[in-house]
């Protein structure tokens, strides 16, 4: 699948909302779980509703998680829940939102915390991989979350 960024052996991020027929391709490429971070009210960007995506994912044998994330309302609780749920899913996990910003940020935060990285290191590594924290608020949130959960700063 094009436009994906493999973070590690467990997580891959895709920077777009896929079409219904692509769900089968996801399973054929060896993914076992699919996480959708889009909110239900992202109607203009949604190619299919999360409920429909979940049904199609399950039809092809994928475990599906809809974990809606409003980019304007980020909180430690939302990230904590994502991290807890994501680690329970069978690998390989494909994570998506509409543009890849949220999915990239959440996966990189999770990986950074798991690896004991600092917030600055996570942002730098994310940018090397092609993710851009193009808003100061998102960059600050990523750095603060990682630093607060690693005891680094």
Reduced to 3 states (helix: H, G, I; strand: E, B; else coil), residue 63 is strand
pLDDT digits (tens, 9 = 90+) for 12-36: 999 777 787 889 999 999 999 999 9
According to DSSP, the β-strands at 63-66 and 33-36 are parallel
CA–CA gap between residue 116 and residue 119 (Å, rounded): 10
pLDDT digits (tens, 9 = 90+) for 44-75: 656 788 899 999 999 999 999 999 999 888 99
**CATH class entry, domain 4-115:** alpha beta
Q: How confident is the model at residue 153 (pLDDT cuts 50, 70, 90)?
A: very low
Domain coordinates in residue numbering, the chain: 4-115
Q: Which residue has the higher pLDDT, 89 or 4?
A: 89
- Let me know: does 34 contact 42? Beta carbons within 8 Å: no
Strand 63-66: give its sheet, edge to edge: 4-6, 11-14, 93-96, 33-36, 63-66
pLDDT digits (tens, 9 = 90+) for 95-140: 998 888 899 999 999 999 999 999 999 999 999 988 877 788 889 9
């Amino acid at each position: 699948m094009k436009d994906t960024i493999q973070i590690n052996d467990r997580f891959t991020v895709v920077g777009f909302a896929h079409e219904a027929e692509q769900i089968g391709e996801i399973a054929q490429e060896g993914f076992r779980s699919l996480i959708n971070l889009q909110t239900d009210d992202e109607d203009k960007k949604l190619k299919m509703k999360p409920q429909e995506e979940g049904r199609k994912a399950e039809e092809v044998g994928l475990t599906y998680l809809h974990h809606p994330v409003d980019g304007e309302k980020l909180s430690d609780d939302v990230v904590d829940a994502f991290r807890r749920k994501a680690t329970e899913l069978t690998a390989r996990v494909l994570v998506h939102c509409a543009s890849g910003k949220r999915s990239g940020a959440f996966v990189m935060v999770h990986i950074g915390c798991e690896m004991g990285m600092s917030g600055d290191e996570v942002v730098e590594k994310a940018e090397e991989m092609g993710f851009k924290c193009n808003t100061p608020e998102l960059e600050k949130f990523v750095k603060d979350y990682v630093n607060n959960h690693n005891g680094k700063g």
